[in-house]
Structure 1
Amino acid sequence: MNAFSSLGFGQRFQTLPPAFYRRVDPTPLPDPYPVAISRPLAAELGVAGESLLAADAVGVLSGSALRPDMRPVAAIYSGHQFGVYVPQLGDGRALLLGDTKAPDGRLMEWQIKGAGLTPFSRMGDGRAVLRSSIREFLCSEAMHHLGIPTTRALAIMGSDEPVYRETTETAAVVTRVAESFLRFGSFELFYHRGMHDEIRVLADYVIRHHYPACQEAANPYLALFAEVTRRTAELIAQWQAVGFCHGVMNSDNMSILGLTIDYGPFGFIDGFNAAHICNHSDHAGRYAYNQQPQIGLWNLHCLASALLPLVSEEELVAVLGTYRDTFEAAHLMRLRAKLGLTAEYEDDADLINSLFLTLHAHRTDFTIFFRRLAGFRQDDALNDPIRDLFVEREQFDAWARRYRERLAWEGSVDTERALQMNRVNPKYILRNYLAEAAIAKARDERDYSEIERLARCLEKPFDEQPEFEAYAGFPPEWAEEISVSCSS
């Protein structure tokens, strides 16, 4: 492993013309100190974790120092926010430092979030707060270990500098890592400004560095859009399968690589509610859990419009027509796996829909139900731990009869099925109340041990971890009162 000081930073994104970004130096974070680091991510980057705690790394990752090979920039983009087009957005508090080459050969971009004002800060102060930084750090790493494509979080650096949100909080900078932070909105801005040459330049850049196979297609830009459409559909199918709600699926928060990006008012569903809204600012429920698949398609329509100078409308519409089938196939595949079904049967969708209606009616805990379902047995007397999750057991029993018949149809073996189901149904997720407990300890006691402990648990979400058993229980009653917004 290399020490942070020995890393060489490149500037791949900065090879784009100046229209795509603004050169900005970070605003130093006063008296910074390390709060948390992700050792698994550091290892993947070829960096010794301990070296991220050294003074030189703390300085750079807090925005308090720059290395000679860094040329920080804020990217410009626009986007549709809650369905309304905003002509200019951009990185209002994030700066791209550069990229490093991981041991697997990938170039990974490093971005510090909370690094101060940029030309795109609008009415903001350019800072991030400790609370939101902890949430992003924990959730992005948790999503990665669930196998869901995401930006990653390498480190949090804190400071006692006051930051004003709903209340006075303290500042922090989180270091994010991804192959690219480009968004749908990166294309939208140039389309709406009539800068069609820049759309081509950006599309060529994305194809060259991230979708090289598209270069062989008859129309590389159409192939690019088809790949983004596929990845987006499959990503949202993965979200739905674990009960993850993004909370603010604006088109500027949609990754061109199909990554989960921009963690704000996210949340995992506790008691299942198909119309669950995790963002208290989303009064109309635009980004509710059951709306996410459709919103993914809506955002792809925005991206398609931005690609009209490169691809015909007819061709773009044809690709958009593949989204629903791609999503439904990916979603059904994951739900079959969650139920331990290894074969396909024509009535599977109806069986699954019937289950979700029952879960919704009883507000059954989503994660605990699927984890317990691995213990389903042919003998009803052995299924009480599952039946106890329902107020009216008879409703579950009615579904269970169909499920039992379906398992018998494919000759399912209880013990084998349980092993398969436990590989796809997590025991541990980042429930909001767990994040809040870690935040409270960090904020009130300057004790960051709960962040580290929770992160270690979430590295192995599918494993039985007796030392973390308390993290797998039902949320306390006060968890229902947790409110998250775009400042979270």
Structure 2
Amino acid sequence: MTEIKSKIEIGWNFDNSYTRLPELFFTSVNPTPVSSPKLVILNYPLATSLGLNDKVLEKEDGVAIFAGNQIPLGALPIAQAYAGHQFGHFTMLGDGRAVLLGEQITPKGQRVDIQLKGSGKTPYSRGGDGRAALGPMLREYIISEAMHSLGIPTTRSLAVVTTGQRVIRETEQIGAVLTRVAASHIRVGTFQYASRWGSTKELKALADYTLERHFSHIDEDGNPYLALLREVIKGQAALIAKWQLVGFIHGVMNTDNMTISGETIDYGPCAFMDTYDPATVFSSIDINGRYAYGNQPKIAAWNLARFAETLLPLLHDNEDKAVSLAQDTISDFPQLYHNNWIAGMRAKLGIFNEEPEDESLIEELLSIMEKHGADYTNTFRALTFDSRSDMMLFDTTEFAKWHEQWQQRLDRQKESKASSHQLMRDSNPAIIPRNHRVEEALEAAVKYGDYSVMEKLLKALSCPYAHSPEQADYSTLPTKSDQPYRTFCGT
């Protein structure tokens, strides 16, 4: 493994603060080189924001780094250790197919992880091959960039390269490596790992590091670890509300897939809901609907309770007092989530102020949508532009009654109808990554090597609130199918 010397030319500005934590939390490991890497997509705007020279990145040196064949100057590659509750069952995990190259310090002074996903075996591979297939890596690229454009905190995708090697899943597939950018990869599962297998001193070191990296701005009020718990709860309450407001279903809300930074991470069997139904599940492995759309807030609260448990030794010397502090803080989550969600729903309906009856108005609309199998995104888009001709629920007497109540509600606020319309435009996307469109792009790329379908989709998704004529085609629904849409982890 050679080290790329052109640090200045490419723009790498690495620091490796995570490696200064106790060795319990990581293992030094290099990516496994591949035979013939080829760049298939590069995120030029993201590269620029990171301070990287995209013209060099798309050449041989950049591709070699994205493939794991060479290490950029200043990087100290590691695989991170963590644990997690997967579908409710606790297990030891870790980066089984990912290597963290280091932390890029951007021109604005931000610190972000640069991670290679699909870069070969690590000590945490648990019998896996450490590799990734092209389709799932392109899916993560599409969905994570769509989430970013929707204004939802998320890890991002810098590049995807094919490896020239095949991976075996149920069939033989094209191998690929994704370069992921994150505020950090510290997870609830990282704290669970420290709590189970580390000492209190090591747990404290992780907590102190996390506070310094993500929450140095907060007022600790004499108990920094309680402040840490509060901030993580606040971040997740805001994040999950944003998911619900656009109909996003993560699919695997295991504790190792919940970040302390409040970013969405690990886009496996994720998808966006078409027909409004709280019971919607897309993941092929979520047989009992644990991570259904309507369950996501409850699962977030459950995951946060597991996080709180790990902090008990730091919250107070007296265990009973520590438990009381944790329980009191966790109990804030439902209201924090609800406040974020109802504020977002008011915005989707053009409502600026608050009235006690708003929640019943919102719930009544959702009930009508569910009853008539209405498309979630297109319903709110139709309300935004008062375009109701092609949706069944708009012809019902119950919707007519609801619409009258909604208009009366808008009339009671001081803001103009024009202001309400603009608020709705800014709050209701014209476009989401429709599942059939994502599959269309993936099939063209993986089967035929045609990335033009994906590039057009990404361009449309980059401005979801533009409501431009060019986006209209991407708002059409899939043709009816006897089989429900299913997604897969791709691991």
TM-score between both structures, scaled by the size of structure 2: 0.94
Q: 1:195-214 to 2 correspondence within 5 Å?
A: 195-214=199-218
Separation in structure 2 between the aligned mates of residue 194 and residue 443 of structure 1, nearest angstrom: 43
After TM superposition, the structure 1 stretch with the greater mean CA deviation from structure 2, 163-172 or 90-99, is 163-172
Separation in structure 2 between the aligned mates of residue 328 and residue 90 of structure 1, nearest angstrom: 33
Q: Is 2:22 aligned against 1:12?
A: no
Separation in structure 2 between the aligned mates of residue 50 and residue 448 of structure 1, nearest angstrom: 20
CA contact (8 A) 1:38 1:154 kept: yes
Report the CA distance between 1:153 and its aligned residue.
0.6
1:300-350: per-residue Cα shift (whole Å, max 9, x none)? 010011111101111111110111110000000000000001111110001
Which of 333, 338, 362 pairs up with 1:323?
333
Q: 1:48-447 to 2 correspondence within 5 Å?
A: 48-86=53-91, 88-193=92-197, 195-214=199-218, 216-311=220-315, 312-376=322-386, 384-385=388-389, 388-390=391-393, 393-410=396-413, 413-447=416-450
Separation in structure 2 between the aligned mates of residue 438 and residue 115 of structure 1, nearest angstrom: 24
Report the CA distance between 1:411 and its aligned residue.
5.2
Report the CA distance between 1:97 and its aligned residue.
0.2
Separation in structure 2 between the aligned mates of residue 363 and residue 29 of structure 1, nearest angstrom: 48
Identical aligned residues as a percent: 38
Question: Cα 1:407–1:6, aligned 2, differ >3 Å: closer, same or farther?
Answer: closer
After TM superposition, the structure 1 stretch with the greater mean CA deviation from structure 2, 170-179 or 406-415, is 406-415
CA contact (8 A) 1:78 1:186 kept: yes
Report the CA distance between 1:169 and its aligned residue.
1.0
Question: Cα 1:409–1:214, aligned 2, differ >3 Å: closer, same or farther?
Answer: closer
After TM superposition, the structure 1 stretch with the greater mean CA deviation from structure 2, 417-426 or 106-115, is 417-426
Separation in structure 2 between the aligned mates of residue 59 and residue 476 of structure 1, nearest angstrom: 42
CA contact (8 A) 1:140 1:152 kept: yes
Separation in structure 2 between the aligned mates of residue 391 and residue 414 of structure 1, nearest angstrom: 20
CA contact (8 A) 1:4 1:52 kept: no
CA contact (8 A) 1:301 1:320 kept: yes
Separation in structure 1 between the aligned mates of residue 383 and residue 9 of structure 2, nearest angstrom: 45
Separation in structure 1 between the aligned mates of residue 223 and residue 396 of structure 2, nearest angstrom: 56
Q: Is 2:53 aligned against 1:43?
A: no
Separation in structure 2 between the aligned mates of residue 401 and residue 141 of structure 1, nearest angstrom: 38
Report the CA distance between 1:254 and its aligned residue.
0.3
CA contact (8 A) 1:369 1:389 kept: no
1:207-236: per-residue Cα shift (whole Å, max 9, x none)? 112111346430101101100011011100
Separation in structure 2 between the aligned mates of residue 4 and residue 173 of structure 1, nearest angstrom: 23
CA contact (8 A) 2:9 2:56 kept: yes
Report the CA distance between 1:409 and its aligned residue.
1.9
Report the CA distance between 1:68 and its aligned residue.
3.8
Q: What residue in structure 2 maps to residue 476 of structure 1?
A: 479
Question: Cα 1:12–1:479, aligned 2, differ >3 Å: closer, same or farther?
Answer: farther
Separation in structure 2 between the aligned mates of residue 223 and residue 282 of structure 1, nearest angstrom: 34
Question: Cα 1:480–1:342, aligned 2, differ >3 Å: closer, same or farther?
Answer: farther
Residue type of the alignment partner of 2:354: E
Residue type of the alignment partner of 1:199: L
Separation in structure 1 between the aligned mates of residue 239 and residue 81 of structure 2, nearest angstrom: 24
Q: What residue in structure 2 maps to residue 380 of structure 1?
A: none
Count how many residue pairs are aligned between Structure 1 and Structure 2.
479
Q: Which sections of structure 1, spanning at least 5 residues, go unmatched?
A: 377-382
Report the CA distance between 1:67 and its aligned residue.
2.7
Separation in structure 1 between the aligned mates of residue 275 and residue 368 of structure 2, nearest angstrom: 12
Residue type of the alignment partner of 2:419: E
Report the CA distance between 1:438 and its aligned residue.
1.0
Report the CA distance between 1:391 and its aligned residue.
7.8
Question: Cα 1:434–1:206, aligned 2, differ >3 Å: closer, same or farther?
Answer: same
CA contact (8 A) 2:102 2:114 kept: yes
Q: Secondary structure at the match of 2:100?
A: strand
Question: Cα 1:337–1:391, aligned 2, differ >3 Å: closer, same or farther?
Answer: closer
Separation in structure 2 between the aligned mates of residue 53 and residue 193 of structure 1, nearest angstrom: 42
Residue type of the alignment partner of 1:18: E
Q: Which sections of structure 2, spanning at least 5 residues, go unmatched?
A: 1-6, 316-321
CA contact (8 A) 1:36 1:451 kept: no
CA contact (8 A) 1:115 1:127 kept: yes
1:268-289: per-residue Cα shift (whole Å, max 9, x none)? 1001111101212101110000
Residue type of the alignment partner of 2:473: A
Report the CA distance between 1:465 and its aligned residue.
2.9
